[in-house]
Amino acid sequence: MLNNIEEAFKALLSCLQSLKMYGQAHPMFQKSLDKAFEALSEVLSTRQDMVIGIVGQDLAFEKEVLFDLAKILRPAIVYLKERNIERIAFYRGLTKEELGSFVNFIAAPKADFKGDVQAAFSLLGIEHVSISKLKVDPNNKGGGFSLAQAELYDSSADIVGQALSGVLNSEKVDHLALKFSLNNIIENLSTQRQELLQLATVKRYDMETYMHMLNVSIFSMYFASCLGFDKADILNIGIAAMYHDIGKLFISRKILHKPGELTDQEFVRIKSHTLMGAEIMMRYIDTLGILPVVVAYEHHLKFDASGYPHLPFLRKQHIASSIVSICDVYDALSQRRGYKQDYSPDVVYNLMNRDRGSYFDPELLDKFFKFMGYWPIGSVVALNDGSIALVKSPSETDIRRPKIQIVAPPEKKRLVDLTQEPALSIERYLNPWKEGKEYLEMG
């Protein structure tokens, strides 16, 4: 019975993912709806109800905690918790029409989850499903980023780790779980951009390869959304970004973290990771599409095609490869690693602009810093009057003068738009791993 419960819940969430990816009229959604209804009907044929609860980050059915299922479906758990759903109950008599209406309801943006949910269910003709809400999380005291956002980031990192490990081991990838996770990030980028980009800024100091992959994916999806790509293309770019360096993971850590100069042989081996990555991702075209192959192959090609792999003829880099290339270098320069120190945002900006027109498409690079800002969201900065502030959002008119929140000293706490206060300016950046650490949670 427990296996049937787990399969029914997985089928339900796959149905939700299909709806968000393809839309209600698409055959893929109808097929997934049929499968979910069949699985739920099988469970309800032997019992009056099926009730799934969310306890912390785990799933529970009656007295059983479904640890393994919760680990697989962590992004979905975060998704439901963001909509204040901790309990879902299905009752005998459920129809496919009701199930379709229910899935449509929970697919709505989290901002729509207000008022009396059960009253809304009655209007929609949903009589055999009920959900209940979570209380406000007492651990979130309003500073920094929310617990839900942290859980989303961390659960996504888990999914990224599983997806990358699966490919490295030539295993089947749970592409629905991966797409659900990245799709959840896309939705949160549209409503809580500051919190997620701040997490990407702070979490990079964990020095994990998977964190770098996730950060590049988040930055690439955000950049693509700012450039006006549609949701399906943003998701594909996010997946391609996540796998862009899969070939490099085959290269030994000894070579990658070598403190001195690489030998010619070692450098040739590292440069081969683009070909290796493309070959690896060719095995997953059926589930992940062709874009991960293209981006893995091209992300070091450079704007002027002077990079690698060497092409026998000039060919323009794919726009997705250009986006990922910018985001990859941006995060790599900003990240502390065993073989290098992290660079401050102003140094990162200057280093990347030094390669405009050669490594990077100059127009695209300008747009990237316009959207990301000279000082990225979440940066801890010292001002010329001696106060300390956190960067809240970039300015549309002057990338060097963002909107900030002064957090210290206490008597100076306030929100400031630096474009409106010419007497104030950012004097220097405080490393969040060192002198800026104590200020991170004060915003």
Residue type at position 79: Y
Do residue 242 and residue 356 come from a single domain? yes
* Residue 141 falls in which region: left (phi positive, over 0), alpha (psi -120 to 50) or beta: alpha
What pLDDT was estimated at residue 355?
A: 95
Within-domain flag for 333? yes
What pLDDT was estimated at residue 165?
A: 76
What pLDDT was estimated at residue 205?
A: 41
Looking up tokens 């964990």 gives 206
Domain of residue 418 covers 380-442
Within-domain flag for 267? yes
**Strand locations in 237-340 (E):** none
What pLDDT was estimated at residue 437?
A: 82
In the chain (443 residues long), the average pLDDT of successive 10-residue segments reads: 86 88 88 95 91 79 74 80 85 93 87 70 86 50 49 68 78 79 78 64 51 89 94 93 86 61 75 88 92 95 90 83 96 67 86 95 96 90 96 91 94 95 94 82 69
Within-domain flag for 124? yes
Tell me the whole-structure pTM to 2 decimals.
0.68
Within-domain flag for 139? no
What pLDDT was estimated at residue 406?
A: 96
Number of domains in the chain: 3
Which of 133, 158, 177 is a domain's end point? 133
Q: Of the candidates 372, 361, 214, 228, which has an alpha carbon nearest to the alpha carbon of residue 299? A: 361
What pLDDT was estimated at residue 388?
A: 96
Looking up tokens 């000279």 gives 374
What pLDDT was estimated at residue 338?
A: 43
Q: Of the candidates 388, 395, 167, which has an alpha carbon nearest to the alpha carbon of residue 288? A: 167
DSSP designation for 378: T
What pLDDT was estimated at residue 198?
A: 66
Do residue 104 and residue 253 come from a single domain? no
Do residue 290 and residue 426 come from a single domain? no
Which of 335, 354, 372 is a domain's end point? 372
> Measured between alpha carbons, how far is 176 from 32 in angstroms, rounded to an integer?
12
Could you tell me the CA-to-CA distances from 130 to 42, 216, 280 in Å, in that order? 19, 38, 44
Within-domain flag for 141? no
Do residue 296 and residue 334 come from a single domain? yes
> Measured between alpha carbons, how far is 120 from 102 in angstroms, rounded to an integer?
10
Do residue 351 and residue 261 come from a single domain? yes
- Pair 415, 366: CB distance under 8 Å: no
DSSP designation for 65: E
Which of 353, 372, 391 is a domain's end point? 372
Do residue 368 and residue 385 come from a single domain? no
Do residue 313 and residue 210 come from a single domain? yes
What pLDDT was estimated at residue 148?
A: 57
Instruction: Kindly state the tokens that stand for 336.
Output: 């502390």
